[in-house]
């Protein structure tokens, strides 16, 4: 046997191993492509929501609260109640949009995690595949139906308090629970099995530069997020809670004593407080979520069929976007639209990098299925 053939044997073993683990319509392939797809759609929806709905909705909530305060100032108790009902309706509209965005991305993360641990599940390939389909159906159905709750309401519903959209959202949640429970059973069976063999999975052994960049960068982002969260808890959390109460008391006292100036200044301060809270919490949550995404993507770099230099570039673009968005969100209160625009650019960078990696995985599946060289 020639030396080149000797050298290529372990490589061809590894490729056939990868080919088995990543076969067409296998659980890992479905969960990886479906998971990144869910995250992409969730992020694009989040960007659209942030630009076209979030601020307008926040303005409506603020206006209704202001109307309630002015109604209290005028001594009109009935109008106070009406305005608070409107606040509830606006918050429900906002809540369903946020839930759609958050659930789609969270299910995407879960799909990537399940794709990673798929080889450790003591289940037949067919069972894993069907559980993957069930998971993806539920992961798509739940956020879609949560989005529709505000628009469908109780129309044609057989129940008094729950509409069709909520019923189908719950069905989606049930699909996800059943699929995850099935996968967990497979994992438990594997780890409880007395004669379990080591699971060969070269995805975990790979330590390419883009993989290391994403893994170390991801852990660093989560670290930064926790550091910021600790700072927020130490410096801002209790101050914000005390301010929330004192400002509302100022508005209420102003209305009781018919002091319009106190009500107006209280409303302005309350708006500022809500803005300050929102940007700090959003920055904390986003940097940690991007960190986790980066860590998960690190493991799948061997499946990204792009040139090495481009894999590194997309890893860097993802990390830059992951820092830019939360930092600029934090700066939004000081620098307004400029910081907001840069934050949107950060989100766009993450989306583009993620899309590039997804295309790389698609190219890999095409080559694998076509039997081409990797």
Partner 1 sequence: MSDARRLLLAGGIVLAVWGMGYGLWYAVFAEHQALEAIGSSLAAGFRGAAGRNPVLAGRALQQYQQAKYVYDRHVDVHGHWIGLAMVLIVLGIGLDRLAFSERIKTLLSIGAVLGSVLFPLGVLLQTLNHGNGPRALAVFGSALVVLALAVLALGFARKPSNSKESRHK
Question: In angstroms, what is the minimal distance from the CB of 174 to partner 1?
Answer: 13
The token pair that represents 221 in the structure block:
């982002």
Stretch near partner 1 under the rule CB under 8 A, chosen from 48-56, 131-139, 162-170, 199-207: 199-207
Q: How far is the CB of 102 from partner 1 (least distance, A)?
A: 10
CB of 108 to partner 1, least distance (A): 12
Nearest one of 321, 330, 318 to 354, comparing CA atoms: 318
Nearer to partner 1, 252 or 265 (CB): 252
Task: Work out which of 193, 256, 335, 338 binds partner 1, going by CB under 8 A.
Answer: 256
253 is a contact residue toward partner 1 (CB under 8 A): yes
Interface with partner 1 (CB under 8 A), residue from 211, 326, 340, 346: 211
- Judged by CB under 8 A, which stretch of 56-64, 130-138, 152-160, 208-216 contacts partner 1? 208-216
Please say which residue, 234 or 261, places its beta carbon nearer to partner 1.
234
Considering CB under 8 A, how many residues would be counted as binding partner 1? Answer: 68
What are the residues binding partner 1 (CB under 8 A)? 11, 68-69, 71-77, 80-81, 84, 88, 109, 113, 116-117, 184, 187, 204-212, 215-216, 219-220, 222-223, 226-227, 229-230, 233-234, 241, 244-245, 248-249, 251-253, 255-257, 288, 292, 295-296, 298-299, 301-302, 304-308, 311, 364, 374
């Amino acid at each position: 046997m020639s030396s080149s053939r000797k050298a290529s044997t372990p490589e061809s073993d590894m490729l056939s191993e990868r080919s088995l683990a990543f076969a067409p319509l296998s659980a890992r392939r479905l969960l990886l492509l479906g998971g990144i797809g869910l995250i992409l759609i969730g992020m694009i929806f989040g960007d659209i929501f942030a630009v076209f709905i979030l601020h307008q909705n926040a303005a409506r909530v603020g206006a209704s609260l202001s109307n309630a305060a002015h109604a209290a100032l005028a001594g009109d108790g009935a109008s106070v109640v009406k305005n608070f009902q409107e606040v509830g309706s606006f918050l429900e509209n906002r809540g369903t949009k946020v839930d759609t965005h958050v659930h789609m991305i969270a299910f995407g993360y879960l799909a990537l995690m399940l794709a990673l641990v798929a080889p450790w599940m003591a289940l037949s390939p067919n069972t894993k595949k069907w559980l993957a389909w069930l998971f993806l159906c539920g992961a798509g159905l739940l956020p879609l139906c949560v989005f529709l709750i505000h628009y469908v309401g109780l129309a044609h519903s057989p129940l008094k308090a729950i509409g069709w959209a909520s019923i189908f959202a719950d069905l989606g949640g049930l699909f996800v629970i059943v699929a995850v429970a099935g996968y967990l059973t497979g994992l438990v069976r594997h780890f409880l099995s007395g004669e379990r063999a080591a699971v060969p999975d070269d995805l975990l052994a790979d330590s390419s530069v883009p993989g290391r960049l994403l893994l170390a960068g991801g852990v660093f982002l989560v670290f930064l997020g926790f550091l910021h969260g600790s700072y927020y808890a130490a410096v801002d959390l209790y101050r914000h809670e005390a301010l929330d109460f004192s400002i509302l008391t100022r508005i209420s006292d102003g209305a009781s004593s018919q002091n319009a100036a106190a009500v107006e200044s209280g409303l302005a301060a309350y708006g500022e407080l809500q803005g300050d809270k929102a940007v700090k919490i959003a920055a904390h949550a986003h940097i940690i979520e991007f960190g986790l995404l980066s860590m998960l993507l690190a493991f799948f770099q061997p499946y990204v069929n792009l040139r090495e230099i481009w894999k590194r570039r997309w890893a860097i673009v993802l990390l830059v976007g992951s820092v830019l968005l939360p930092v600029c969100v934090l700066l939004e209160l000081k620098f307004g639209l400029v910081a907001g625009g840069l934050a949107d650019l950060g989100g766009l960078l993450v989306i583009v990098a993620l899309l590039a990696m997804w295309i790389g995985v698609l190219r890999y599946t095409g080559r694998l299925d076509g039997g081409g060289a990797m």
